[in-house]
Amino acid sequence: MKRIIVGVTGASGAVLGERFVRHLLNGGHEAHVILSSSGVRVFGEELDAPLGDSFPEIERNFRKRYGNPKRLLVWPADDFAARISSGSAKMDAMVIIPCSLSTVGAIANGVTINLIHRTASVALKEKRPLILVPRESPLSPVHLKNLLYLAEIGVHVVPATTAFYHRPKTIEEMVDFTIGRVFDLLKIEHRLFKRWREVSSAE
């Protein structure tokens, strides 16, 4: 079992964060989720799932989506005293999905305004895997410079784009391709998409 911190920001693509958490839990892993305030807003808008205004409401509604499993923990985005805020918390990796370019900018510049930024900064200093799934289009030179800098210091940048060689027919199949590439980086086995020229054992 892996312990993964999951940041969900206010970039478009709430379905990515929603399904990523679902696949982690289905695989028996522990998810520590932080939703930024914009993340809560976009989640409500895009998934027709208002999470609420106060943290207790957000936590309750988010956990309810997954059937309240013990392995799903939700942390307040403004709580710098949360257990996961410290490098002493034993975490395997952090994934920010979807990741706004505002959060990319904060991480690239060492700014910690919320717990997503703080835990990403901890992942960097502890040299733990940090995976960002940014979504924006088009990308400005500022975005590209920040992403390049982060890639150069070892951060994995997995754009929120799908491939088409696995012939996706639904939004879920498109989203699961991106999530599968993140699982590959986390070294988590999965069957989220059919690999290029993959031949199943039955064939």
What gap in Å lies between CA 178 and CA 187, rounded to an integer? 14
Which lies closer to ligand FMN via its Cβ, residue 29 or residue 36? 36
Nearest approach in angstroms of CB 89 to ligand FMN is 21
Give whichever of 91 and 104 is closer to ligand FMN, judged by the CB atom: 104
Q: Helices 101-108 & 141-152, crossing angle to 10 degrees?
A: 50
Pick 31 or 101: Cβ nearer ligand FMN: 101
- Least distance CB 1 / ligand FMN (angstroms): 28
Which class for 163: exposed (0-12), middle (13-18), buried (19 or more C-beta within 10 A)?
A: middle
Closest approach of ligand FMN to the CB of residue 164, in Å: 21
CA distance linking residue 23 with residue 28, whole number of Å: 9
Cβ proximity to ligand FMN: between 13 and 180 the closer is 13
Q: CA-CA distance, 196 to 127, in Å (whole number)?
A: 31
For ligand FMN, the closer CB: 175 or 188: 175
What length is written for the chain? 203
For the CA atoms of 56, 61, 62, 63, the dihedral, rounded to the nearest 10 degrees, stands at 90
Enumerate the β-bridge partners of residue 74: 33
**Smallest distance, Å, CB 186 to ligand FMN?**
22
Quote the tokens at residue 167: 């012939």
Q: Which residue in the shown chain puts its C-beta closest to ligand FMN?
A: 10
Binding site for ligand FMN (CB under 6 A): 9-12, 36, 38-39, 41-42, 45, 100-103, 135-136
Please state, in angstroms and rounded to a whole number, the distance separating the CA atoms of residues 107 and 119: 10
Q: Which is nearer to ligand FMN, 38 or 112 (CB)?
A: 38
Least distance to ligand FMN, CB of residue 47, Å: 11
* Pair 146, 100: CB distance under 8 Å: no
Smallest separation, CB 134 to ligand FMN (Å): 7
